Amino acid sequence: MVFIQLYFWIAPHLLLAFCLIKMLRMGVHKQFPVFISYICFQEFHFAVLLILNLLILRSHSSVLTYRWTLVVGIVISGLLQLASLYEISAVLVMNHSPVARALWPLLRWAAALFVLVAATFSGIISQPGIQRVTDAFEVLNFSAGVINIGVLFVLLAFTKVFHLPWRSLAAGLVLGFGVNSSVEMAATVLMSTIGSRGYVAMDLVRMVGFHVCVLVWMIYTFRPERSAQTIGQGLHKVDLESWNEELQRLVE
Amino acid sequence: MTVVAWILLSASIVALLAILWMLRGRSSAAVDLDHLRSQLRPMDVEAFRNLMDCRERDYLRDRLPVPDFRRIHRERMLAAADYVWCAATNAGILIRLGEAARNASDPSSVESASALQENAFRLRLQALQALPRLYLSMVVPDWDLIPDGLAERCDRLTRQATILGCLQVTSKSA
């Protein structure tokens, strides 16, 4: 059991490091700088927690310090995750100004709405019998999951309505976030129901969720980017110009 | 386990499935352009203009008993909503055709495709904004606050739909 726990704690971060190197080589940091910052922070946070864990084993640090470091890290990574989703949205609508004008207020409202939803349901997740720091950890995990899923859902629905194309990497990043956030949310709810005796099992579920998320990012990073295939003749240049002239005259 | 916990747990599973469903085949699916072109639907613009005409509505209101007027107005708005759906669908198809044309090697074609796509986005946005107003007008036929904005919006939609109708004819004759 200890081996499995160690594997699911360490392996995703090692894979994420490989993923980060590949992404930097591909120049992903130019397109998604906030997402790269998120990965860098994840790796830094993991390194700090690993060191703290070793220090605890040698009695040089306390469990409380470890837990507060964990909580502060969750706040920062939650914010970076949300910022990454905004960044992905910006890249998707970059070339389409009317869509961008409609998307930004919608995303802002969705974020505000899901902050309210998270705040409402956090009372259920909160457990009076456990330590304040653990309680804060559970509430923050749950809130971050709810807000991310809400924003993700609005973004996906919006792009579906407007037929916005997804580059494969952006789709992969979103899918990874979706898996991670929904597993976090489910694990926190289960944890609040089972209580502290389910902590180890739920922690393992969370780590498995993050592992799957990293694997998804790896697959989308390492496989070659495929452009959309087309069949048939489509539009001729003459069609395009004449149709567009008419549409331009009418929508302005 | 409480009911709320069950709801939250189910919501997280449903959210994950919904995300998977929405992302399914989005980035790599092949687009059949001829099939897309064939899906452009022609619109009877005169009929749509008639449905959106405020004078026509006032005429019916003056001549018909209230229950009859309400029923007929509801049917008229339903028909108008169908036309607006049609315009929105056509705009959606133009967005996808424009996207495909943006991959062309000729820079001027790419520029034209981008511009066409941009305008199709605007049309779809306007159509989707007009739809709830139409449905609301179906429930509240005497709501005088809506018709001004609605008429203006739908007039623009009508003109845009005319073009989309023409596009359909062009594509059939080509």
Listed by number, the residues of chain B in 112-151 with a beta carbon closer than 8 Å to a beta carbon of chain A are: 112-126, 128
Listed by number, the residues of chain A in 121-180 with a beta carbon closer than 8 Å to a beta carbon of chain B are: 121, 124, 145, 149, 152-153, 156-157, 159-163, 165-168, 171, 174-175, 178-179
Radius of gyration of chain A from Cα atoms?
21
C-alpha atoms less than 13 angstroms from C-alpha of A158 in its C-beta half-sphere: 21
Listed by number, the residues of chain B in 52-91 with a beta carbon closer than 8 Å to a beta carbon of chain A are: none
Highest mean pLDDT among A46-50, A74-78, B31-35, B85-89: A46-50
Stated length of chain B: 174
Listed by number, the residues of chain B in 13-32 with a beta carbon closer than 8 Å to a beta carbon of chain A are: 13, 15-16, 18-20, 22-23, 26-32
What whole-number percentage of chain A has pLDDT above 90? 23
Q: In chain B, which residues have their Cβ closer than 8 Å to the Cβ of A160?
A: 22
Structural domain spans, chain B: 1-30, 32-173
Q: b/e for A186-203, b at 16 or more Cβ within 10 A?
A: bbbbbbbbeeeeeeeebe
Q: Touching check for B9 and chain A: CB below 8 Å?
A: yes
Classify burial at B37, counting beta carbons within 10 Å of its beta carbon; exposed 0-12, middle 13-18, buried 19 or more: buried
Q: For the segment B17-67, what is each residue's pLDDT rounded down to a tens digit? A: 888 887 776 555 566 777 777 777 776 767 777 887 778 888 888 898 988
- Mean pLDDT across A17-29: 92
pLDDT for the residue numbered A153: 85
Q: For the segment A30-61, what is each residue's pLDDT rounded down to a tens digit? A: 889 999 999 999 999 999 999 999 998 888 87
- Mean pLDDT across B72-94: 86
pLDDT for the residue numbered A228: 60
ipTM associated with this complex: 0.73
Looking at chain B, which residue has its C-alpha nearest residue A150? B15
Q: For the segment A131-160, what is each residue's pLDDT rounded down to a tens digit? A: 666 677 778 878 888 888 888 888 888 888
Residue B150 scores a pLDDT above 50: no
Structure token digits, residue A162: 């407007």
C-alpha separations of A154 from B65, B112, B157 in Å: 44, 30, 26
Q: In chain B, which residues have their Cβ closer than 8 Å to the Cβ of A229?
A: 28-31
Least confident of A1-10, B55-64, B144-153: B144-153
On average, the pLDDT of chain B sits at 74
